[in-house]
Structures are given as C-alpha cells and as structure tokens.
Amino acid sequence: MNEAKKKLFQPYTLGDLSLPNRLLMAPLTRSRAKQPGDIPWELNATYYAQRASAGLIFAEATQVSPQGKGYAFTPGIHSEEQVAGWRKVTDAVHAAGGRIYLQLWHVGRISHPELQPGGEKPVAPSAIKPAGAQTYLDPQQGLVEVPEPRALRTEEIPGIVDQFRCGAQNAERAGFDGVEIHAANGYLLDQFIRSKSNQRTDHYGGSIENRLRFPLQVVAAVSEVWGPQRTGIRVSPTGTFNDMHDDDPVATYAAFAQKLNDTGIAFIEVVEDSFQGNAADGRPEEVIKAIRNHFNGSYIANGNYTAAEAAQRIADQRCDLVSFGRLFISNPDLPLRFLRDAKLNEYDEDTFYGGNEHGYTDYPRLALLGISESSPAF
C-alpha cells in the first residue's frame, strides 16, 4: 500500500469517539421507512449493519418534526415508534462492530402542503420559491415542484430550535453514538445561512452574523444534549441544489467556522461539490481553506472522491476524514474493496429512492480467497 493510501486506514479520534479508519459513510436519503408513520424497521437495520465497516456511519437525513418532512417515506425521530425503530438500527450496527450518528433534518421550504401537518404551507426564512426544486409526494403523483413557502415569524424560531433539541434527545434514547446537524443542500438551516434564500429584515437575516444566528442556536441546543464532542454539522457552501447561492461564501463560511469553533463541536462535514456529483468545475478551495483555517475540530470532506484522491487529500492535510455516499450504496464492504484495490459494484440510480430490498440490501460483498469477512475491521 502506498503511503497516502495508508492514511485512509489509520485510526482516528473524532471528538471523543475512536474510529478504526477515516472512511465514513455519508448520509443518504433512501426513502424506505415503514408506513404509516415514517418508521425505521428491520430492512433499514440490515442495510446499515451491512455497512458497519465504515469508520462511522451517518444515518440518512431524518426529520425532527412533522413540519420538518419534505419527502414521502423518509424517516423521522419525533415519535415513540420511530425511536423504537431506530433502536433496531443502532443495535444491529453495534452488534456488527460499527458506529452510527443520526443526521437531524428540517427541510424548510423543500416540502409541500400535502406533506405538512394540517396541509399548511412549508416554512422558510423568506417567502421565496426555490426555482426548479422538487419534492416527492407519493407513488401516484411522484416528483412535484415545491410551492412558495411561508416566511417564519420571528417568535416561531425558538420552537424550531426546540424541535432539534427534541430530535437530539430522541436520538440519544434510540442508541446513536452522536448526531450531525443538517445545514446543507438547501434545507432549513442552509436557507437561513445563504443570502439568496434569506431576505429577512429581523435579527435572523441581513448580515452574516444575523444569518448564522438560528443555525448557531440549533448547534447550542443540540450540543447541550449530546455534548460538543458528539455533535457535528454538515454544510454545502457552494452547492447549487435546491436553488441555493451565497453572495460571498468565503466570508460566510469563515465566520460560521469561527463561531462553530467557539462552540467546541467535533466536526464540520463539507459537501465540496455541487451535490449532484459534479466536481469537474473544481472544488471551492478558497472556502475549504477558510473553514479549515477557522475551525480546529475535524474536517470531513465529501463529494465524489475516489479512494486515491481521498487518501491524497488527507495526506495533504486538507481534510482529516472523507465520507463516501454513492459508493457506499453499491458497496457494503467499501473499506475492504479500497484496501484490496478491488473492483467496485456500480450503483443503480433507479433504486436510490424508495422501493424494497432491491438496490438496497442486495448489493454483493466481495468474496476474495483468503480474506476473512468476519475479521473485526471488516
């Protein structure tokens, strides 16, 4: 193994949690929660346990409240049944030797009255319809455009902070090892952070400091529950998915990284490509550097990395760990495959969202002579 590649397989301490390698599973929406009730179940437990050789699993984005839901079949963490369902998942992952964090999610404007309690309009920092953004309603209607949202009233915001606090408490009861706050990809926290979606005139909009206020209140509430060492956040400073844009991402994310550093949270996971997998335009190196320079915790890079690029990036100290999404969908034993330079299974995009075990728990594992799949690391 070359020197750079060895880095991927070096143990790492994330916050106060020991990881056997630096190759993490990114959070991935798979839309296979049991219905009715958006409840995690045995099928999800099998899927995550199959991937327990990841240094750490980030479970899929999970709504902290009924209002935080934006797509049919995504799981929640606000009912007792959901907590019990997630407990099946965390028990299965732990029994397989893995570690798993929950991603706490509120979609904000990326929703639809048909998915909202009381058929209400989805909520957002400002009443701005994201051009071209879609959500998934049900198998009959499929993907539909999201409508114009309703701007949150100032006095409603503490209640949404409470939704995240409650989600964090429920994640603890469900047996997770920690949590990641979803502040990326055009969902509620990202809508507050970035200038195009936040046109508020109260103290939650306008200046960078104001745009960061609500996300930082969420971070404070969640780390009060978990302790900062078991709390992290995901951001996508230059992602364009869901019609997102910021006028000055270097300034915005330098300030955010500095404030996050002051909270003592363990990590920032950064979506470094456009989210839809295209890193061809290059990565936003200036923003990456700004975050790295202002944040002393761990930096997790994400975005269409190959094993070789990921290892080199760690060797160059541009990140500490790398999370892989789509490759983990089709390769449950991804670390072993990287280690052996083995062929990777191709993923089938048609089975990413919704459906059953097909394209979910039926991707084959490597069967190489002389490799013990039951060894502790794999």
Q: Which residues are known catalytic residues?
A: 187
Please tell me the distance from the alpha carbon of residue 46 to that of residue 91, in angstroms, as a whole number.
Answer: 11
Between 31 and 312, whose beta carbon lies closer to ligand PHB? 31
Residues 151, 186, 332, 230, CA torsion sign:
negative
Phi and psi for 144 in degrees, rounded to 5? -135, 160
Please tell me the distance from the alpha carbon of residue 176 to that of residue 351, in angstroms, as a whole number.
Answer: 26
What tokens does 10 get? 């070096």
The total of other beta-carbon atoms located within 10 Å of residue 133's CB is: 17
Binding-site string for ligand PHB from residue 27 to residue 46, where x marks contact by CB under 6 A and - marks none: --x-----------------
Tell me the site size for ligand PHB, rule CB under 6 A: 5
Q: How far is the CB of 184 from ligand PHB (least distance, A)?
A: 6
Between 12 and 71, whose beta carbon lies closer to ligand PHB? 71
Residue 298 lies near ligand PHB (rule: CB under 6 A): no
Please tell me the distance from the alpha carbon of residue 14 to that of residue 93, in angstroms, as a whole number.
Answer: 18
Residue with tokens 């996050």: 260
Q: How far is the CB of 182 from ligand PHB (least distance, A)?
A: 6
Q: How far is the CB of 60 from ligand PHB (least distance, A)?
A: 8
Residue 71 lies near ligand PHB (rule: CB under 6 A): yes
Residue 185 lies near ligand PHB (rule: CB under 6 A): yes
Q: How far is CA 66 from CA 105, 108, 136, in A?
A: 11, 11, 15
Q: Which of 63, 25, 1 is closest to 311 using CA atoms?
A: 1
Please tell me the distance from the alpha carbon of residue 86 to that of residue 168, in angstroms, as a whole number.
Answer: 13
Q: Under 8 Å CB-to-CB from 293, ≥6 apart: which residues?
A: 254, 257
Q: Find how far residue 193's CA is from the centre of its chain.
A: 16
Q: How far is the CB of 134 from ligand PHB (least distance, A)?
A: 9
Asked whether the beta carbons of 18 and 30 are under 8 A apart, the reply is no
Residue 193 lies near ligand PHB (rule: CB under 6 A): no
Q: How far is the CB of 200 from ligand PHB (least distance, A)?
A: 23
Between 41 and 71, whose beta carbon lies closer to ligand PHB? 71
Q: How far is the CB of 109 from ligand PHB (least distance, A)?
A: 14
Q: Which of 86, 53, 74 is closest to 352 using CA atoms?
A: 74
Q: Which of 332, 353, 352, 356 is closest to 344 using CA atoms?
A: 332
Residue 61 lies near ligand PHB (rule: CB under 6 A): yes
Phi and psi for 303 in degrees, rounded to 5? 135, 80
Q: How far is the CB of 237 from ligand PHB (least distance, A)?
A: 14
Please tell me the distance from the alpha carbon of residue 226 to that of residue 333, in angstroms, as a whole number.
Answer: 29
Please tell me the distance from the alpha carbon of residue 160 to that of residue 167, in angstroms, as a whole number.
Answer: 11
What tokens does 135 get? 């959500």
User: DSSP state, 117?
Assistant: G
Q: How far is the CB of 107 from ligand PHB (least distance, A)?
A: 8
Q: Residue type at 279?
A: A
Residues at the site binding ligand PHB, with contacts judged by CB under 6 A: 29, 61, 71, 184-185
